[in-house]
Amino acid sequence: FGIKDKLGYMFGDLGFNSLQVLVNTYLMIFFVNIIGISPVHFSLIIAICKASDAINDPFIGRAVDNRAGSKFGKYKPFLIKYLLPYIATTILLFVNLSGMPYAFRIAYALITYFIWGIVGTFINVPYGAMLNSITSDMKGRTDLSNFRSIGSVMANVIVTSVAPLILFDQMDNPVANRFVLLGIILSIFTAVCLLLTHVLVSERVIIPDKTDE
C-alpha cells in the first residue's frame, strides 16, 4: 500500500465525477433549451429517476456485496464492466432529438436518464466499497478518502471551467452539437482515469461474500 494506490483511487473519482458533473450541471440546459422539453416535464423526469434510484440502490449494493472475488479483486471488475455502458448512456443523453415528436423526446429522456443512473451506481458503489479492500489500516483509509476528495474537486473544477468555453457561442447561446462533443471528450478522459484506477490500485484485504440468510 502506498502512493500508487492513493493516486489510483483519486483517478477513480476524477473520472467518474467528470461525467457526473457534466450531466448534473448541463443536462437541464440541453433538455430544455435544445431538445425543447418543458422545465416542468424535465423536473418530473429527474424526480422519477431519483426516486427510482433510492429503490434500486440497495439491490445494486447487495449485488456488489454478493459478487465473488477474482484475481483482479472484488470491486475493480465493476469499474471495467460498466465503463462502456456508463460512457454510452452519457453520450446518448446529449443526442439532439429536437426534431422528433414531443412524446418520443420525453420517453427517450426518461429511459436514458434512468439507465444512466443505474449504470453509474454500478460503478460508484463498488468504487466506494473498494476503499476497505485496499488496506485495513485506518490511517491508510483516511488517506484514500482524502485523495478521493481531491479527485472529486478536480473533476468539478475541470468540467465547470472547460464546459462553458465549449458549449456556448460568443453570444452565450448553447450549441446543440457541442454537448455530445464534450460528452465524447469527457468520456475518453473518464475511460483513461478508470483504467488507471484498475491498474494502479491493488485490493489486498479479502472481503467475504455476503450470501442470503
At residue 70, the pLDDT reads: 67
pLDDT above 70: percentage of residues in the chain: 93
**Whole-number Å distance between alpha carbons of 26 and 69:** 37
Q: What is the DSSP string of 69-119?
A: PBTTBSSHHHHHHTHHHHHHHHHHHT---TTS-HHHHHHHHHHHHHHHHHH
CB of 89 closer than 8 Å to CB of 112: yes
For the chain, the residue count is 213
Give residue 212's pLDDT band: very low, low, confident or very high (50, 70, 90). very low
- Among the ranges given (134-138, 163-167, 169-173, 208-212), the one the predictor scored with the smallest mean pLDDT: 208-212
At residue 208, the pLDDT reads: 60
What's the average model confidence in pLDDT over 185-206? 88
**Whole-number Å distance between alpha carbons of 14 and 127:** 12
Nearest residue to 127 via CA among 206, 11, 4: 11
Q: How far is CA 133 from CA 6, 72, 127, in A?
A: 13, 12, 10
* Digit-coded pLDDT (tens) for 103-148: 999 999 999 999 999 898 888 888 888 888 888 788 888 888 899 8
* Digit-coded pLDDT (tens) for 70-107: 667 788 888 888 999 999 999 999 999 988 999 999 99
At residue 204, the pLDDT reads: 78
